[in-house]
Amino acid sequence: MNIEDIKRLKELTGVGLTDAKAALTEANGDFDKALEAMRKKGMTKAEKRGEREARQGLVGTYNHDNRIGVLVELNCETDFVARNEIFADLLKDVAMHIAASNPEFVSAEDIPAEVRDAKKAELLAGDALKGKPAEMAEQIVEGQLKKYFAERCLLDQPYIKNPDQTVGEYVKDHNARLGENIIVRRFSRIALGEVA
């Protein structure tokens, strides 16, 4: 275990040096294992931050080869964080991910009930469920709905630069790093020649 690992762990998780050192000691010097343990603890801190109001921030753009344009609103709690380079980089990363992955919604909470109900009805009418008990069919469909919408919700998608974590987890890492509640409020994606 070296001081560079401790500093790196502190920077990535937003905890103090003592906590970072303790995590590395607990993980027998295994940086990845310590980071995972601290992430879980960091997530708890981020969840508490999630209750705080986030009305500052930035609206940013990303243009890919003059063929795909993205507009994103990323919010935080203070103007101080909004002007931080780490926050600006996060905004750019999220916009780039949206350009590449084409999500339809920010999160599952943003899916209109009629859209969810229509997809559920479509799945329930499928041939694969014929002859299955109603309760089992309902459970199967709920699992299918979760998977279907996870692919279409920005925060549930695997992050393009690190598919081992979701975009939501990537944003929460920044909550811990910057010490503020950070929210992807909304986005718009336009692709050349695409008909709405």
pLDDT digits (tens, 9 = 90+) for 102-121: 999 999 899 999 999 999 88
Residue boundaries of the structural domains of the chain: 3-49, 56-106+153-191, 112-150
Is it true that domain 112-150 has CATH number 3.30.70?
A: no
CATH code of the domain made up of 3-49: 1.10.8.10
d(CA 5, CA 184): 30
**The pLDDT of residue 10 is above 80:** no
Place of tokens 């027998």: 28
2-11, 27-36, 149-158, 182-191: lowest mean pLDDT where?
Answer: 2-11
pLDDT higher at 4 or 166: 166
pTM of the predicted structure, to 2 decimals:
0.69
SS3 11: helix
